[in-house]
């Protein structure tokens, strides 16, 4: 039987990473993700893994690059300003087609910003992130249980598609405590045995492997990028995830992800109690964005409301997904202020939610 | 007399280095040491951004190309995941002593059990000869056209001297490859660095005073002479730190 524990989101994620075979963790202290490092510094030595506190975010992501390049499951975690520092390394990891998991427990920005929950890294994580043509897989958990479940999913998908996968959480999810169950499986330490491309010593059995993102011949580089984008197309077609509630008859569909989706869902439930025809759509993968699921969920809606803990970033993807075929409005708070369900409900009513 | 053959740890690829550049000699020394220790099968090399960026095509062992300056961090990741493998980095002066200073110092302070081959030629070769952290006072480069003015551009970084003060360092030695006697000493230092890694004794670095005839505007012979008359007086050759970092119990 699976054990059930009351844990903080950050700790649940850390424990789940170990159970998913994460053998090495490289991190640098930053609020509000500290519990991940603290937890792994205690647990990793007990299970024969490595916890290393790097000298910087830059060093930590490059340790991940080397470790992942040798075929070992590894992870780093940070919060917004630290993710900016990791951007260079993430581009190299993507350019060398290496699997790894990166956690962003988002805080308010820009600059040093604040330390309270935020979703203001959406653009950074799902769009550019760093130089070059590439994407990373992005999962947005909305509960402590999902923090645990998605880290295992992220490792598996990163391995299968040979690309970095990110968990986009926020201070709220990271710090709050909820019951969490871990599947009753043995802790595994994932090695390079199924990674014939890994640079881990050729043992005289093969030609040397090279982990690299440098291609000086333009045609070679274009071919590499095009091949990568074919994998992205496969992900878009087959691996988007979303949850839709009461959307079939909804006049207004509310779209929100992560902890904001929990708050928006409260507002939607309250609206339904008042007899308003309101639906709820939660993207779970942010890249690839669940476009076809959103089109389906909003096909009968007259309006869409996007709710975010930012000035409105995901709203761009919402508009693109439905091709601006209906009005998309926005409600959000930023700077570390959490949108209140009552305020979201007011916005729904302002938009003319009908009985 | 033994056959003079290409070491197995070097591939058949044609080196792209300029005539008179000493990268080729140092590549060969590293490869000879790998051959003699019989460790090619279990070695992972990390190459830098700089002239030796494509060293991954030249060494027969598994190779990883790092971003600029981050080789010691990349090597740390490889080594922590594979503590029984050999891991070396091959880095130039801009890579190691400017943009990668933090990674160098902290891999050293951790006593990270890796070997660093550090090529000091007092210039950024690949980008066309700009001032490096190791450029000598008064040296003319593309970005110090009137000579390095220490009141504006500061002083050269002495890597071995800095590392000699760090507890995690097992070996910090400065050598050169300007003549056969020095080449033999350089090889002995590289061998020692790999041996220390084998015994898990800590961070080892061999600094090789090297030439860049192209960007120095010299013939290969003039360049070798410059190492002797200008570089060695500023960067004295020798052992700056030698001794196991870890005691037997930890090994």
Average pLDDT over residues B27-47: 98
Q: ipTM of this predicted complex?
A: 0.96
Write out chain A residues lying below 8 Å of B43, CB-based: 201
B249 pLDDT more than 50: no
**Can you give the residue ranges of every domain in chain A?**
3-238, 243-350
| Residue indicated by tokens 């200008």 | B230
pLDDT band, very low/low/confident/very high, at A354 (cuts 50, 70, 90) = low
* pLDDT for the residue A91: 98
Measured distance CA(B65)–CA(B49) in Å, rounded: 8
Looking at CATH, the fold of the domain delimited by A3-238 is given as Rossmann fold (3.40.50)
Same fold across A3-238 and A243-350: yes
Chain A residues within 8 A (CB-CB) of chain B?
23-24, 26, 50, 52, 54-56, 58-60, 62-70, 72, 74, 88-89, 92, 96, 198-204, 208-214
Which residues neighbour A60 within 8 Å (Cβ) at sequence distance 6 or greater?
A: A26, A27, A28, A54, A76, A78, A86, B73
- CB < 8 Å to B79, chain A: 66
Number of CB atoms found within 10 A of residue B104's CB? 27
Strands (E), chain A: 3-8, 24-27, 50-53, 74-78, 100-106, 137-139, 164-170, 177-182, 210-211, 242-245, 252-255, 278-283, 285-287, 303-308, 328-332
Residue pointed to by tokens 């916005």:
A347
Contact A45, A95 (CB under 8 A): no
Bridge partner residues of A320 (DSSP): none
Q: Which CATH architecture describes the domain A243-350?
A: 3-Layer(aba) Sandwich (3.40)
pLDDT in tens, B129-163: 999 999 999 999 999 999 999 999 999 999 999 99
CA distance B214 to chain A (A): 22
**CA-closest candidate to residue A180, choices A122, A210, A141, A219:** A141
Residue B248 pLDDT > 50, yes or no?
A: no
Q: What is the mean pLDDT of residues B245-250?
A: 55
For the record, the structure tokens of B247 come out as 């005691």
CATH class of B23-250: alpha beta
Structure tokens belonging to residue B31? 């490869």
Q: What part of B 102-161 touches A (C-beta under 8 Å)?
A: 102-103, 105-106
Using a CB-CB distance cutoff of 8 angstroms, which residues of chain B are in contact with residue A68? 77
Contacts of A210 in chain B (CB under 8 A): 56-57, 62-65
> What is the DSSP pairing of strand A100-106 with strand A164-170?
parallel
pLDDT in tens, A9-58: 999 999 999 999 999 999 999 999 999 999 999 999 999 999 999 999 99
Contacts of A72 in chain B (CB under 8 A): 81-82
Residue B40 to residues A55, A207, B64, B86, Cα–Cα distance (Å): 30, 11, 14, 9
Return the pLDDT at A3: 74
Which candidate, A107, A92, A101, A96, places its Cα nearest to that of A34? A107
Q: Average per-residue pLDDT in chain A?
A: 95
Q: Model confidence over A222-271: pLDDT tens digits?
A: 999 999 999 999 999 999 999 999 999 999 999 999 999 999 999 999 99
Rounded to two decimals, the pTM is: 0.96
B34 at A interface, C-beta within 8 A: no
Alpha-carbon distance of A52 to A44, in angstroms, equals 10
- Rounded to a whole number, what is the distance in Å from the CA of A189 to chain B's nearest CA? 11
**What is the maximum alpha-carbon separation in chain B?**
55
Compute the C-alpha angle A284/A290/A295, nearest 5°: 130
Q: DSSP secondary-structure letter at A340?
A: P
Q: Report whether A86 contacts A57 (CB < 8 A).
A: yes
């Amino acid at each position: 039987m699976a054990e059930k524990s009351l844990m903080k989101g950050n700790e649940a994620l850390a424990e789940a990473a170990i159970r998913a075979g994460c053998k090495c963790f490289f991190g640098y202290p930053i609020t509000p993700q500290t519990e991940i490092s603290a937890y792994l510094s205690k647990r990793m030595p007990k299970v024969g893994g490595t916890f290393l506190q790097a000298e910087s975010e830059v060093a930590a992501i490059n340790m991940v690059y080397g470790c992942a390049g040798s075929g070992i499951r590894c992870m780093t975690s940070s919060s917004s300003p630290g993710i900016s520092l990791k951007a260079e390394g993430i581009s190299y990891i993507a350019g060398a087609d290496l699997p790894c998991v990166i956690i962003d427990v988002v805080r308010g920005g820009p600059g040093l910003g604040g330390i309270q929950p935020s979703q203001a890294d959406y653009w950074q994580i799902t769009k550019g992130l760093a130089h070059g043509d590439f994407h990373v897989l992005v999962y947005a958990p909305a509960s402590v249980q999902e923090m645990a479940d998605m880290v295992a999913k992220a490792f598996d998908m990163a391995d299968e598609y040979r690309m970095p996968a990110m968990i986009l959480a926020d201070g709220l999810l990271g710090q709050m405590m909820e019951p969490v169950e871990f599947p009753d499986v043995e802790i595994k330490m994932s090695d390079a045995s199924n990674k014939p491309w890994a640079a881990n010593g050729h043992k005289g059995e093969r030609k040397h492997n090279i982990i690299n993102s440098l291609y000086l011949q333009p045609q070679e580089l274009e071919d590499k990028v095009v091949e990568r984008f074919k994998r992205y197309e496969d992900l878009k077609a087959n691996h988007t995830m979303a949850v839709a509630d009461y959307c079939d008859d909804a006049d207004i569909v509310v779209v929100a992800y992560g902890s904001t989706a929990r708050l928006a869902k409260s507002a939607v439930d309250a609206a339904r109690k008042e007899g308003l025809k309101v639906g709820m759509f939660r993207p779970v993968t942010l890249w690839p964005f669940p476009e076809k699921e959103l089109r389906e969920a909003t096909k009968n809606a007259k309006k869409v409301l996007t709710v975010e803990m930012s000035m409105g970033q995901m709203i761009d993807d919402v508009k693109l997904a439905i091709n601006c075929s209906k009005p998309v409005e926005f409600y959000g708070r930023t700077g570390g202020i959490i949108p209140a369900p009552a305020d979201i409900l007011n916005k729904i009513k302002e938009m003319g939610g009908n009985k | 007399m033994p056959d003079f053959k290409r070491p197995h740890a070097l591939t058949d690829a044609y080196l792209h280095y300029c005539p008179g550049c000493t990268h080729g000699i140092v590549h060969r020394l590293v490869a000879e040491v790998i051959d003699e220790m019989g460790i090619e099968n279990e070695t992972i090399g990390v190459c830098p951004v700089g002239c030796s960026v494509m060293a991954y095509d030249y060494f027969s062992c598994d190779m990883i190309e790092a971003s600029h300056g981050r080789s010691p961090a990349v090597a740390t990741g490889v080594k922590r995941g594979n503590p029984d493998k050999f891991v070396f980095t091959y880095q130039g002066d801009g890579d190691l002593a400017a943009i990668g200073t933090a990674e160098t110092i902290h891999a050293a302070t951790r006593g990270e059990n890796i070997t660093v081959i550090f090529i000091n030629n007092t210039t950024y070769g690949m980008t066309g000869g700009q001032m490096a952290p190791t450029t000598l006072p008064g040296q003319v480069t593309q970005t110090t056209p009137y000579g390095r003015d220490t009141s504006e551009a500061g002083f050269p970084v002495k890597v071995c001297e800095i590392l000699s003060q760090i507890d995690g360092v097992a070996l910090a030695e400065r050598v050169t490859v300007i003549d056969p006697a020095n080449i033999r000493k350089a090889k002995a230092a590289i061998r020692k660095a790999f041996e220390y890694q084998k015994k898990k004794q800590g961070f080892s670095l061999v600094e090789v005073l090297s030439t860049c005839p192209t960007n120095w505007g010299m013939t290969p012979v003039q360049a070798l002479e410059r190492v002797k008359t200008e570089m060695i007086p500023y960067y004295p050759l020798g052992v700056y730190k030698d001794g196991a970092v870890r005691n037997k119990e930890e090994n």
